[in-house]
Amino acid sequence: MSRTTFRLNDGRSIPAVGLGTWQSKPNEVRDAVEFALQHGYRHIDTALNYGNEREVGEGIRASGVPRDDIWVTTKLDNPWHHRVVEGFARSLSDLDIGYIDLYLMHFPCSTDPEDSTKHLPDWDYVKTWQEMQKLLDAGKVGSIGVSNFQIRHLEKLLADPSCKVVPAVNQIELHPSNPSPKLLDFCKSKGIHCTAYSCLGGTIGSPINNSGPLLRDPAILEVATAKGRTPQQVVLMWGVQRGTSIIPKSISPSRIAQNFELDGWTLTPEEMKKISGVQTRFKVVGDGWMPIKVFFDDDE
């Protein structure tokens, strides 16, 4: 599974397992990226909003892994929606890796850069997508997509005459306590691949987001014991076997290596069903910090 890839609607292939870098501090993320790539990872996920693109780029270069063997995803931050070219150029410069494999619109929210409590009155994500489509002609990005888009956002975007490129990816929060089957099915029907973030159910102790009891759930523990695997590994395998790419975040070398040990075993249909049957529901990422609501809890 660690070598599995998923084919996107533009013909390119995204690695199934990647390293997430959200909330990773600069000095920590550089070492984590270098270690992950030297131990088999070929997908690194970052974002302008994370403030660590420069260090991610340093880790990529320090790894010694050829650039063309690595898939790098980064994202346009909310206050840059009306400055797509500039936002992309900043990420490209900070990463300093020549090109970006996948560029995502981080949220369907065009925040006023002068006042984070306000949404730009004359701009929305459809206009942002119009500008993102133009990036493909410049030759510095391979694929474009979105993140945190719900069904209603995608319906509006795809129905607009200006939408000439269907997003290759929708990166969304996905784990057994937030499985979002309706959203997954909708994306599949439109040929949009889904990448799962917060795929382990959150970061314990995070000052700005939630963490749920997913890895202590009896069903997860039961499957993990039966497989001789960690709870994290069975939850990650569940994600990959659902057809989603996964980007677990860690700065611990042992955990980074452990999260990648997904070869030589699979979950049975019964085990997949048991994990999918987890009853606890929670979201890690909310929208209370944005000027508009973007999550509507209608994707289950």
Asked whether residue 43 is domain-assigned, the answer is yes
Tell me which residue of 144, 59, 52, 67 sits closest to 99, measured CA to CA.
Answer: 67
The confidence band for 204, taking pLDDT boundaries of 50, 70 and 90, is: low
Tell me, what's the pLDDT at 203? Answer: 61
Asked whether residue 285 is domain-assigned, the answer is no
The confidence band for 34, taking pLDDT boundaries of 50, 70 and 90, is: very high
- Burial of 246 per CB tally in 10 Å (0-12, 13-18, 19+): buried
Asked whether residue 95 is domain-assigned, the answer is yes
Asked whether residue 300 is domain-assigned, the answer is no
- Contacts for 264 with CB less than 8 Å, ≥ 6 apart: none
Tell me, what's the pLDDT at 225? Answer: 98
Mean pLDDT over 278-282 rounds to 92
- Contacts for 164 with CB less than 8 Å, ≥ 6 apart: 133
Kindly tell me if the per-residue pLDDT of 176 is higher than 90.
Answer: yes
Kindly tell me if the per-residue pLDDT of 49 is higher than 80.
Answer: yes
Residue 266: give its domain's CATH number. Answer: 3.20.20.100
Q: What is the pLDDT of residues 261-270, one digit of tens each?
A: 999 999 999 9
Mean pLDDT over 81-103 rounds to 98
Asked whether residue 232 is domain-assigned, the answer is yes
Q: Is 219 in a helix, a strand, or coil? A: helix
Q: Taking all residues of the chain, what is their mean pLDDT, rounded to a whole number?
A: 95
Catalytic amino acids?
50
Q: Which domain holds residue 159?
A: 5-276
The confidence band for 23, taking pLDDT boundaries of 50, 70 and 90, is: confident
Distances (CA, A) of 216 to 37, 50, 249, 269: 29, 28, 18, 21
Asked whether residue 56 is domain-assigned, the answer is yes
Kindly tell me if the per-residue pLDDT of 202 is higher than 90.
Answer: no
Kindly tell me if the per-residue pLDDT of 25 is higher than 50.
Answer: yes
Tell me, what's the pLDDT at 279? Answer: 93
Kindly tell me if the per-residue pLDDT of 16 is higher than 70.
Answer: yes
Q: What is d(CA 175, CA 214) in angstroms, rounded to the nearest whole number?
A: 9
What does the DSSP 8-state code read for residue 173?
A: E
Ligand-binding annotation for 39, yes or no, is no
Q: What is d(CA 42, CA 22) in angstroms, rounded to the nearest whole number?
A: 17
Residue at 252: amino acid letter: S
Mean pLDDT over 234-251 rounds to 97
Tell me, what's the pLDDT at 210? Answer: 58
Kindly tell me if the per-residue pLDDT of 219 is higher than 60.
Answer: yes
Number of domains, the chain = 1
* CA count, 13 A, side-chain hemisphere, 112: 11
Kindly tell me if the per-residue pLDDT of 77 is higher than 80.
Answer: yes
In this structure, how many other beta carbons lie within 10 angstroms of the beta carbon of residue 268?
11
Record the pTM.
Answer: 0.96
Q: Is 17 in a helix, a strand, or coil? A: strand
Tell me, what's the pLDDT at 209? Answer: 54
Phi-psi map region of 96: left, alpha, beta (phi>0 left; psi -120 to 50 alpha): left
Tell me, what's the pLDDT at 175? Answer: 97
Kindly tell me if the per-residue pLDDT of 162 is higher than 50.
Answer: yes
Report yes or no: 56 and 77 within 8 Å, Cβ to Cβ. no
187-190 long-range contacts (CB < 8 A, ≥24 apart) are 187/154, 188/243, 190/154, 190/158, 190/166
Asked whether residue 10 is domain-assigned, the answer is yes
Mean pLDDT over 93-101 rounds to 98
Tell me the β-bridge partners of 44: 19, 72
Asked whether residue 290 is domain-assigned, the answer is no
The confidence band for 207, taking pLDDT boundaries of 50, 70 and 90, is: very low
The confidence band for 123, taking pLDDT boundaries of 50, 70 and 90, is: very high
Q: Which stretches of the chain are DSSP H helices?
A: 26-38, 53-63, 84-95, 125-135, 151-159, 181-189, 218-227, 231-241, 253-259, 269-276
The confidence band for 131, taking pLDDT boundaries of 50, 70 and 90, is: very high
Tell me, what's the pLDDT at 22? Answer: 87
Kindly tell me if the per-residue pLDDT of 2 is higher than 60.
Answer: yes
